[in-house]
Amino acid sequence: MKRPTVLVLGAGYGGLATVVNLQKTLGADDVNIVLINQNEYHYESTWLHEAAAGTMSPEQVRYDIKSVIDPVKVDFVKATVEGIDVDTKVVTSSVGTHTYDYLVIALGFEGETFGIPGLDKYALSMANVKAARQIREHMEYQFATWSLEEEKDDSRLTIIVGGAGFTGIEFLGELGNRVPELCEEYDVPFEKVRVLCVEAAPMVLPGFDEGLVKYAVGQLEAKGIEFSIGTPVVEATEEGVKIKKGEDEFEFIKAGTVVWAAGIRGNHLIEETGIESNRARVKVDKDLRAPGYSDVFIVGDCALMINEEINRPYPPTAQIAMQQGDTCASNIVALIRDEPTSEFVPDLKGSICSLGDDDAIGVAFDKKLTGTKASFMKKMVDNRALFMIGGIGLTLKKGKFNLLK
Ligand code: FAD
Ligand code: NAD
């Protein structure tokens, strides 16, 4: 009998968890697994704010995909996916075409700009490791140029962060530690630097525990970070951003660096498949298949599932992407063995938001945590994710062991 081909697109958390579980369960005689990713490496998206701020090197954030896959069972193809035809079952990439019996779409997230003018062109985003490195280097360039200028333009030293969700707050936490280092490195007086977070909603981390949010804002403000709350960014230009402060009231803030962290969407390729989606996220069936397509699974940030307890979508997180990878793999095994598939049931262990590498807030196993305890827990979660994909070897190589800092 012909071995079925499982084609996995994307080697992020969802894609790698699927592949690693498939290779554990099936033999090379049972299945032909093909993994396509645009880079030879996987990057820990959950650490991109660190690479962007410059508190961690981009090298530390990524690892070679081949180090976690079994070459006998998995054929890794470094290529950019360009089109997905779910009717003819053909995927087009920069190196050719690929057919499949089962397809797993795990192409992850892209930054969402909501059509706000100028953001695509003038704001930076930390959607991948190259973009994160660009933010780090852009800030360093601004500091270095200010240092050199005869007529100094202090707005070079203003950093605006759009969005006070988890990404924005984690990035600000890193900046809180990084800005004093940059000042020292580039001979810039600390008081010349302005870091401003602009949030559209009436609070920081909308929907999160108010006490924990108060703690986070206090800690960040103590490091000199300012907040402008309830004031959406409505435009970005080469010079800075315009924010809306009232019915007809706007303010333009000049800034040398604008980082957009105000939301995400699924991968744009989803929108070209013809499968119904909302902001490139597909409301998947309970077993993670695309509605109407029995051979197409979608996992991670390209998938959308409703938490029926609160009638709202589960947030797109690495935690859920990895769990979906596990279920997706076992459902593909079930289909190959002609057995029934199972429902994906998320096992939410909580969420922790770092405030630099020495502080955090969060809720874990129903307990509220702040400070070193929360930071310790966040690093354990990060290490666990590495362990689940690459075992002890990868954890020792890439893990975070400054646990009590
Ligand atoms: P991704 O991790 O985005 O991976 C997608 C993969 O597909 C990438 O390897 C990419 O290179 C590849 N790809 C994309 N397009 C193509 C193409 N056309 N061709 C080939 N390959 C392609 N979640 C948590 O649970 N905990 C956290 O602490 C946390 N922290 C975060 C911090 C930051 C700064 C950010 C931005 C997000 C954080 N998240 C966190 C969310 C989490 O990172 C995402 O939910 C998670 O990455 C989604 O996993 P994924 O597998 O769907 O996609
Ligand atoms: P988000 O959608 O959670 O937050 C975006 C924020 O930007 C919101 O507060 C929103 O009100 C604000 N915003 C939207 N439009 C704006 C505008 N025009 N001007 C100013 N502010 C605006 O996005 P995110 O923070 O990137 O998070 C994406 C996903 O990744 C979430 O599911 C999050 O839980 C997850 N994540 C988790 C962690 C963690 O667990 N530590 C860290 C980062 C991200």
If 0-12 CB within 10 Å is exposed, 13-18 middle and 19+ buried, where does residue 72 land? exposed
Whether 251 and 146 map to the same domain: the answer is yes
Q: Same structural domain for residues 253 and 271?
A: no
Q: State whether the beta carbon of 48 lies less than 6 angstroms from ligand 1.
A: yes
Contact 93, 80 (CB under 8 A): yes
Read off φ and ψ for residue 97, nearest 5 degrees. -115, 155
Query: Do residues 128 and 233 both lie within one domain?
Result: yes
Residues 324 and 391: their CA atoms lie apart, in Å, by 19
Locate the ligand 2 atom nearest the alpha carbon of residue 319 and give its number.
40
Give the distance (Å) from ligand 1 centre to CA of residue 316.
Answer: 9
Is the distance from CB of 195 to CB of 224 less than 8 angstroms?
yes
**Which residues, judged by CB distance below 6 Å to any ligand atom, belong to the binding site of ligand 2?**
116, 162-168, 170, 198-201, 206, 232-233, 261-264, 315-317, 351-353
Nearest ligand (C-alpha, residue 110): 1
**Which of 45, 81, 172, 379 maximizes ligand 1 atoms within 8 Å of its Cβ, making it the mutation to test the pocket?**
45
246 and 142 in one domain?
A: yes
What is the three-state SS of 138-194? HHHHHHHHHHHCCCCCHHHHEEEEECCCHHHHHHHHHHHHHHHHHHHHHCCCHHHCE
- 279 φψ region: left (φ > 0), alpha (ψ -120 to 50), beta (else): left
Q: Which of 225, 260, 295 is the last residue of a domain?
A: 260
Q: Roughly how many angstroms between the first and final C-alpha of the chain, as a whole number?
A: 56
Do 288 and 306 fall within a single domain?
yes
Give the number of whichever ligand sits closest to the CA of residue 235. 2
CA dist., res. 367 & res. 362, Å (int): 8
Q: Is 126 in the pocket of ligand 1 (CB under 6 A)?
A: yes
Q: Residue 32, SS3?
A: strand
Q: What is the pLDDT along the chain (405 residues), one digit of tens a residue?
A: 689 999 999 999 999 999 999 999 999 999 999 999 999 999 999 999 999 999 999 999 999 999 999 999 999 999 999 999 999 999 999 999 999 999 999 999 999 999 999 999 999 999 999 999 999 999 999 999 999 999 999 999 999 999 999 999 999 999 999 999 999 999 999 999 999 999 999 999 999 999 999 999 999 999 999 999 999 999 999 999 999 999 999 999 999 999 999 999 999 999 999 999 999 999 999 999 999 999 999 999 999 999 998 999 999 999 999 999 999 999 999 999 999 999 999 999 899 999 999 999 999 988 999 999 999 999 999 999 999 999 999 999 999 998 776
Closest to 125 (Cα-Cα) out of 159, 162, 155, 157: 162
- Ligand 1 centroid vs 322 CA: distance in angstroms? 11
Nearest CA to ligand 2 atom 35: 317
Alpha-carbon dihedral angle through residues 363, 368, 372, 374, given to the nearest 10 degrees: -10
- Number of domains comprising the chain: 2
Residue 273 in domain: yes
Residue 61 lies in a domain: no
CATH code of the domain in which 312 resides: 3.50.50.100
Q: What is the C-alpha radius of gyration for the chain, rounded to an integer number of angstroms?
A: 22
CATH number at residue 129: 3.50.50.60
One domain for residues 153 and 185: yes
Half-sphere exposure of 180 (CA within 13 A, CB side): 9
304 lines ligand 1 (CB under 6 A): no
Nearest to 8 by CA among 390, 313, 324: 324
> Against a cut of 0.95, is the pTM above it?
yes
Pocket test for ligand 1, best of 46, 55, 110 (most atoms within 8 A of CB): 46
3-state secondary structure of 31: coil
Residue 42 CA to ligand 2 centre (angstroms): 22
Let me know whether 178 and 284 are in one domain: no
- Asked whether residue 45 is domain-assigned, the answer is no
Nearest ligand 1 atom to the CA of 108 is 53
Q: Is the CB of 39 under 6 A from ligand 1?
A: yes
Out of 325, 348, 371, pick the residue that ends a domain: 348
Same domain, 107 and 125: no
In the block, which residue shows the tokens 């809720």?
363
Q: Distance (Å, rounded) from C-alpha 320 to C-alpha 341? A: 18
- Per residue in 311-320, is it b (16+ CB within 10 Å) or e — as a string? eeebebbbbb
Could you tell me if residue 378 is inside a domain? no
Distance 204 CA to ligand 1 centre (A): 23
Q: Is residue 290 a contact partner of residue 297, using CB atoms and an 8 Å limit?
A: yes
Whether residues 254 and 270 share a domain: the answer is no
Same domain, 210 and 185: yes
Q: Is residue 232 domain-shared with residue 178, that is, in the same domain?
A: yes
Ligand having the closest approach to the CA of 12: 1
In a domain, 138, yes or no: yes
The closest alpha carbon to 267, from 239, 296, 301, belongs to 301
Tokens 């070679």, located at residue: 64
Task: Please give the pLDDT value at position 286.
Answer: 97
Residue 357 lies in a domain: no
| Residue that is last in its domain, among 224, 245, 260 | 260
- Predicted confidence at residue 1, as pLDDT, reads 65
Which secondary structure element, helix H or strand E, spans residue 62, and what is its range? strand 62-64
Q: Domain range for residue 95?
A: 5-38+79-111+264-348
Residue 404, pLDDT score: 72
Q: Is residue 363 part of a domain?
A: no
The tokens describing 399, both together, are: 């893990």
166 shares a domain with 230: yes
The verdict on residue 60 lying in a domain is no
